[in-house]
Structure formats: structure tokens, C-alpha cells
Structure 1
Amino acid sequence: MLVLALDTATARITAGVVELPDEGAPRTLAARDAQGARAHAELLAPAVQDALAEAGRTRGDLDAVVAGLGPGPFTGLRVGLVTAAAIGDGLGLPTHGVPTHDALAAGVPGRLLVVTDARRREVYWSRYADGVRTHGPEVSAPADLAARLGPDGDLGPVDRVVGDAAEQVGAPPDAPGPRPDGLVAVAATALRAGTAPGPLVPLYLRRPDAVPPGAPKTVTRA
């Protein structure tokens, strides 16, 4: 099975062509990563085309699409999901959404904390034990999250911190974005079983910055 994997939940734009065998782990045939916190719309489509070209495949060769659901900032996350839905609808392909943090945690043993940038001086985070999510996703101030870690915190100690906001909680930089094979690994059971995908519901975790304008003010004449 040939799968197109996309994620725009972080400042890192990911697109990859992944082979999912009947058994065993998915294998990335080609991937493109681009960096641009506010350029997702401009960078994603070329990344998809470049990944397909490197893999020597076309959109007609694809069997499914997998997209990261976030959590992530509103505009960037929406670009990836709209693109995935458009490709899936246009080609008649099943399009599965998976939590971006789950993809970052795929295949990572031990106690893991995934932390991604939420802007507004906050981070999105999830905690995992051997790849299974035990807490989150939630949004917090970095200092508040750091206080919950360690022997005295309710989240306990962790062995590794990954994500583009790892440094905001005092950890070294590690795995700034999900890999295409990690995204597909989270959806592998559903893909192999031919399970009908649910709707692509983004994990925003909070309201967007942009809001509809209010009603015009009434002008009172004397």
C-alpha cells in the first residue's frame, strides 16, 4: 500500500511517500521537510510534488492519505488538513487523521514527553509510556508544565523530550516534527483493515486568534 503522509501542525511542514507492507513497519520512500511557521500554504504543495517525484510515483499510484490532526496553531494546521482532504476527495482515496503527537511518539520506548510550540508563550504537550499516550494533549505555559515533571510532579519523570518546543521546558532539541512513517504507523491498523476513516477534526485545543467582526456600532443622532 502506498500512502501520502502530511503534517502542518508545527512550523515544520512534512510531506512523504510511505510504503505500508501487509506486515511489518512502514517505510518512507521519499520525504520533504520545509520550515516556515506562516508559509504552510506556499510550501506544502511543492513538498508533496517533490516527494512523489523522488519516489518515482504519481498521485495516481497512491492508495491512501494520512494527515496529522495536531494539536497546532489554527491556520497552519488547517492548511494541511484541507490539502489532505482535497487530495483524498479528488482521487477517491481514504484519508485518515492521526494526532501529531502520537506520530512523534510512534516506536519510541520508555517515558516520553512530546512538546510542540503553541505560540502565545504556551506549548502543546502529551505524555507517553512505551508509545501509549497517558496524558494530554493539553496546552500549558512551559513553566507550569516543567513544574509537573520529575519525582515530585504529577506527571513524574520522563526519559526523553521530543518536539519543536523541547527547549522551552529545559530539554535539548530533539525530533522537531513527525516523520512520514510515524504518521502512517499510527494509522497502520485502520489502513490494513480497510476501516472507513472518520472526519478530519483538528485538535486546536483553544480558540483561534482571528474572530468574526462584531456588529457595526449604532450611530445616534442628536
Structure 2
Amino acid sequence: MLVLGLDTCLNACSVAILDGERVLAHRSEAMTRGHQERLAPMAEAAMADAGVAFGRLQRIGATVGPGSFTGLRVGVAFAKGLGSALSIPVVGVGSLEALAAEATGLVAAAIDARRDQLYLQVFEDGEPLMAPDVLPIGTAAARLAELGMGRALTLVGSGAPLLAETAPGARMLTPEGCDARHVARLAARKVAAPIRPLYLRAPDAKLPGGRDP
């Protein structure tokens, strides 16, 4: 299956094209803003790198959050638009699940949500041990200690350093964003369903009148 994977949820913009397990192309750029301007050109460049026409794609996978409200909307909108134009399924992949794919065994994916909070989800060999959640750092640490039970652990994501004291022997990975290669692999395994953003909490920014953006 030819799958286009996209990530714009965090501090990078990442695009990959996979044919089964074979990576045909992968591009990634670190950025905190500007995803909207870079995503389409990066996707076009990656398709050219792969030597694949957009019309040959069979599925699109995109991270749906949690993460940057603006960034995840960019990726979801692009994926929906392209999927509609090509009449192919578009599959949402949680950013915490994509981060956790960086490691095997017991993995805690944690994103710094600011306000002394973390987005957290714990996995064991790719299977979730809890639903994605937004928690105060202390509560997240207690939840992790409960699930980890002193076992070997990998912490992944921008929130990993905030949990380091809870798991002093843990391996730590802090990628800028989700790897679109993992997004594509995960999307290929999922049942196609309507894609929608996963916010977990209201945005920090407000429009005039106190409305959410």
C-alpha cells in the first residue's frame, strides 16, 4: 500500500511516502511556525523524491494531536483536501502514538502542554495502557509510576525531561516532532474512519470576545 504520512502537530514539519514497510522518501524540517507554507511544497518534493505521482497514493495518514492547535489543523485540512481530491482514505494518527513508535517495550510519550501540564499516553509494545490525557505534571508522574512499576522505560517527547525525576534510569528521546514514517506505518494498519483533531483541552489563544480560534 502506498501511503503518504504527514506531521505538523509539534515543532517540525515531516512528510514521508511508504510502500508497505519500504520508505520511498522522507523529508523533515524543524519549525515552530510556518507549517502551512511548507507542508504542500514538502509533500510535492517528497513525491518527486519517491518518483510517485499523487494519483498512485492509496492512503494518507496525518497526526491529529494533541499538539499545536494551529499546526494540527494545517495537517488535518491538507490531508482531508488531498484525500478528497484523490478519493482515497485519510486516517488520523495520534501524535503521542506516533512519538511512542520511536521505541519498543514500555514507552511513555509526553508532550509539554505548558501551564505545568503534560499530554501523556503510555504504551507497551505499541499497545496503549491508557487513553491520551492532559494532566498536571505531578499527576502525570504518579500515573507513570503506577503503570511503570519500576520496569525499564523509554520517555519520548518534549515532556520527557519533566518526568526524568520520576524515572531516573529511563532512556530519553526528545525529537522535534513526530516522524512521518511512523505516521504512515501506523495509518496503514488502522481502519479508515473520519479524521478529526484531538485537542484534549481548549486553546490558549482566544479570539475577540473570548471565543476559541
TM score, norm. by length of structure 2: 0.84
Aligned to 1:5: 5
Higher relative contact order (CA 8 A, sep 6+): 2
Aligned to 1:53: 48
Long gaps (5+) in structure 2:
165-169
**Are the counterparts in 2 of residues 69 and 97 from structure 1 also a CA contact under 8 Å?**
yes
Q: Give the deviation of 1:212 after TM superposition.
A: 4.4
**Is 1:198 aligned with 2:193?**
yes
The aligned amino acid for 2:7 is D
Long gaps (5+) in structure 1:
21-25, 216-222
Residue 149 of structure 2, aligned match among 137, 156, 159: 156
The aligned amino acid for 2:161 is E
Give me the CA root mean square deviation.
Answer: 2.3
Aligned to 1:186: 186
**CA spacing shift, 1:167–1:43, aligned 2, 3 Å:** farther
Aligned to 1:114: 109
**Are the counterparts in 2 of residues 148 and 156 from structure 1 also a CA contact under 8 Å?**
no
Aligned to 1:169: 163
**Is 1:142 aligned with 2:129?**
no
**Are the counterparts in 1 of residues 108 and 144 from structure 2 also a CA contact under 8 Å?**
no
Q: Give the deviation of 1:155 after TM superposition.
A: 5.2
Residue 104 of structure 1, aligned match among 99, 102, 108: 99
Larger Rg: 1
The aligned amino acid for 1:162 is V
Q: How many residues align?
A: 203
Identity of aligned residues (%): 37
- 1:177 alignment partner, SS class: coil
| 1:176-220 deviation digits (Å, cap 9, x = unpaired) | 433233213323334xxxx5x3221111000123434339xxxxx
| 1:144-195 deviation digits (Å, cap 9, x = unpaired) | 4234444xx46534511112332232264444433233213323334xxxx5
**Are the counterparts in 1 of residues 3 and 188 from structure 2 also a CA contact under 8 Å?**
no
The aligned amino acid for 1:3 is V
1-side partners of 2:200 and 2:3: how far apart? 28
1-side partners of 2:24 and 2:114: how far apart? 32
| 1:22-73 deviation digits (Å, cap 9, x = unpaired) | xxxx222111111222221122122212211211222122121111111112
